[in-house]
Amino acid sequence: MKNSILQEIRYKYSPKLPAILREDIHMIGARHGAPSRSESDHEALQSQFSHTYGLPGIIFEKSETKRAFDPIHVAVILSGGQAPGGHNVICGLFDALKHANKASKLFGFKGGPSGILNDDFLILTDEIVDSYRNTGGFDMIGSGRTKLETNEQFARCAQVCEEHDITALVIIGGDDSNTNAAVLAEYFASHNHAIQVVGCPKTIDGDLKNESIEISFGFDTAVKTYSELIGNIERDANSARKYWHFIKLMGRSASHITLECALQTQPTITLISEEIEKEGTTLQEIVDYIAAIVAKRSESNENFGVVLVPEGLIEFIPEMKLLIGELNTLLAKDGNRYGTIQDWDDRQTFIIERLSKVSCDAFQSLPVEIRKQLLMDRDPHGNVQVSRIETERLLAHMVSHTLEQMKHEGSYRGKFSTNIHFFGYEGRCGFPSNFDADYCYSLGYNAFLLIVHGCNGYISSITGLTKPAEQWKAGGVPITMMMNMEMRHGHMKPVIKKALVELEGKPFKYFASHRDTWAYTTSFTYPGAIQYFGPAEVCDQPTMTLKLEHQE
C-alpha cells in the first residue's frame, strides 16, 4: 500500500527530547527524592502495597560514572482506547533499549492485556518500529480492554514473562490500566518474581493528571483535532447564519476536552459537567439557560450559534443521575424479566412502575428516542452506555420545545434550526501533534531508564511541559502516590483518582470570565488544522489548559 506524502515525511521526524535524555544513555543517573505519600487512605494503601508504597520519586540527571547494560528482555502492552502518540511511546522505549545494548529485545504483546495472558506477541524490530514512527493509532500491536486484576491472571503474567526471560513490563494506559499496573507490580514483588512494571499515562479524556503527570498523552492531539472541526462549523455557522449546532465531545467522567475546545474556539455556549453537578442544575434549567441565549441573540438577528456538550453530561444532572442509578439497579436485578418483554409500551410500563416518583417524572419528560437509549444494552458492568445517549439531540429537542412555548407567549420571535454532531473517534487516532510526538517519545525513552534503574510500580513522568522540550524534566513517581480507596462493585478498592475539571482552577476561571461575552457577542476563533512544520509558536504549542495551569 502506498503511503501519503505526509506519512512518509512523518516517519522521518525526529522527536525532540529533554536535554537529559539526549545524553549518552550510559551516563544518565537517578536522583531519589523523599519517600512518597498518597493524598488520602495512607494506611489502607500501605497495607495493600507493602512492597511498593512510599517509594521515592525519581529525577534523572547526568552521571559522572559510565554504566554498562547487560542485554535484557522488555515487553510492552497497549491498554484501553486509542490515543495519538502510542506508537511513539513504543518507539522511544525501543530506541532507548537498543541504545543501551543492541542485543536487548522488546516484546510487543498483541491485542492489549489479553496478549500476555494468551502468550501472543511479536518481537519488535527496526523494520517494524520504523514503519510506525510518529503515526496515530495502536495498530502496531493492537490494544484491548481486558483487565489484569485477579491473582490467577497475575500468576499467568509471571509465567509467560519468565518463559521468555522478560524482566520488565511497560503498560501504556489510562487510570484503570495504571491502577492494574500498580497491583501487578505489587504481586510480582510480593511473590519474588524478578519482573518490574512501569506505566505510561494515556487517555485523550485528560483525567489522568496531577503534579507529576501534567497531561496524559493524546489529549493534545485530540483537542486540536476537535477544535479544528468546531472552528470549521463555527465558520459555517457565521456564514450561513441560520443554524444552531449542538456538538457532543468525548469525556464521560471529566469535561477537560470540552473546556479546552471552548478555550480554543470560543463557542456561544459551553456546558461543563462538574459545574452543573456542583450547582445542582436541573435538565430544565440547562434548557432554559440555552433558550434564553438563543432568544437574546435573535433580537440582533443572530439566529445561529454553537453549543458544546460533554459526553458524560447527563450523569451529572441530579435527576438524571438518580434515574440512571435506579435503572442500573433495576435492570441488574430484573434484567432477564425485562428482556422477555417485546412491546415498547409494555417495557415502559414495566420500568415506570418500578421507579421512584422523581425518576419516573424525569423518565417521562424525555423524548421516546432518549428513553430507548437509556434502556438499550448495558456495558460489561451492567451500566447505561452513556456515550450512546444523544444528549446533544435531547437538548436541541427540549430547547426547541421551550422556544415554541416562548413564541406562543410572545417573548421570542426568532428562528431556531439545529444540526447535531458527536466528535469522538475522529480524535483518537490522528497523526500526533508535534507536542504529542515529542512527549510520547520522551515517555517511552524515560520508561526504559526507570527499568534499568530498578523501578517497580512507577509511572513515567515528563514535566515542565509548557517550556521548550529541551527544558523538560524526566523521572518517575510511584503509582501508589496517585491512588485512593473507592467503592467499586460493592468493595473498597485502590484506584488512581480521576482528575476532574477544577472549578477553582485557572482554566475554568478564565473560561467563566469570558463565556457571557462569547454567548451574546459572536466571538468564534478558528484554530485550523494541526501544523507540523514551521515556527515553534505555531507547531509546538501545548494546550491552553496546560499553559493556564502553569501560568506564572
CA–chain centroid gap for 402, Å, is 34
CA dihedral 10→13→19→20, nearest 10 degrees, is 80
Is the distance from CB of 58 to CB of 455 less than 8 angstroms? yes
Task: Confirm whether 205 is a catalytic residue.
Answer: yes
| 3-class state of residue 276 by DSSP | helix
Give the other-Cβ count within 10 Å of 31's Cβ.
12
Give the max Cα distance, the chain.
Answer: 82
Catalytic residue among 95, 175, 205, 540: 205
Kindly report the backbone phi and psi dihedral angles of residue 74, in degrees, each rounded to the nearest multiple of 5, phi listed first: -120, 145
Reading phi first (left if > 0) and then psi (alpha if -120 to 50, else beta), residue 63 is in beta
- Alpha helix (H) ranges present in 241-352? 256-265, 273-279, 283-298, 318-339, 344-352
Question: What whole-number distance in Å separates Cα of residue 75 and Cα of residue 98?
Answer: 14
Q: Residues near 432 by Cβ (< 8 Å), separated by ≥ 6?
A: 84, 85, 88, 134, 135, 136, 218, 220, 221, 440
When computed from its CA atoms, the radius of gyration of the chain, rounded to whole angstroms, is: 25
Please tell me the distance from the alpha carbon of residue 201 to that of residue 295, in angstroms, as a whole number.
44
Chain CA centroid to CA 27, Å: 35
| Rounded Cα gap, residues 150 and 154, in angstroms | 6
Where is 272: in which H helix or E strand? none
DSSP type of residue 463: E
Task: Order across the sheet with 121-123: list the strands.
Answer: 28-35, 56-62, 473-478, 458-463, 196-201, 166-173, 73-78, 105-109, 121-123
Catalytic machinery residues: 205
